[in-house]
Amino acid sequence: PGTLTIPFEITQDGVYYLMGRCQILGPKEFAVRHDSFHFTIDGGNKIRWDLWNLPHDQWAWSQAREQAKGHRANPLPLKAGKHVLVIHSREPLARIDRVAITNDPYGAPPRD
């Protein structure tokens, strides 16, 4: 298990959303058991990130959502300034290679 630490800065107070380009490796039947991360912002509590409805064994953009909250996007109220995002490995077959933080609640993915 590992962590990915990403410092970032935003220019305006607001509500933001986290997205990542993610992949679940291995046989399709493993996908439901290897489909999440945890993340923290600025050293806060760990938040679960479920890779809901992700195509199997392909890279795809996924908005940070929690199954326990009905797969709704996790709003992140942030103040303008510097912040630190830490993504924590939770399951061995879940991968992430890009991250975006946006104020778009519908999670339009960045262009690759």
Tens digit of each residue's pLDDT (9 = 90 or more) over 47-59? 999 887 778 788 9
| 95 located within any domain | yes
CA distances from 97 to 19, 44, 77, 78, 93 (A): 11, 23, 24, 23, 13
| 112 located within any domain | no
CATH code: domain of residue 79: 2.60.120.260
| 78 located within any domain | yes
| 49 located within any domain | yes
| 104 located within any domain | no
Average predicted confidence (pLDDT) for the chain: 87
Residue-range definition of the domain harbouring residue 92: 3-99
Q: Residue ranges of the alpha helices (H) in the chain?
A: none
- Indicate the pLDDT class of residue 35, thresholds 50, 70 and 90: confident
Which pLDDT belongs to residue 80?
98
Region 59-72 average pLDDT: 80
User: Which range has the top average pLDDT, 28-32, 50-54, 56-60, 99-103?
Assistant: 99-103
Cβ atoms of 50 and 58 closer than 8 Å? no
User: What's the rounded Cα separation, in Å, for the pair 57 and 26?
Assistant: 7
| 107 located within any domain | no
User: What's the rounded Cα separation, in Å, for the pair 83 and 41?
Assistant: 7
Count of domains observed in the chain: 1
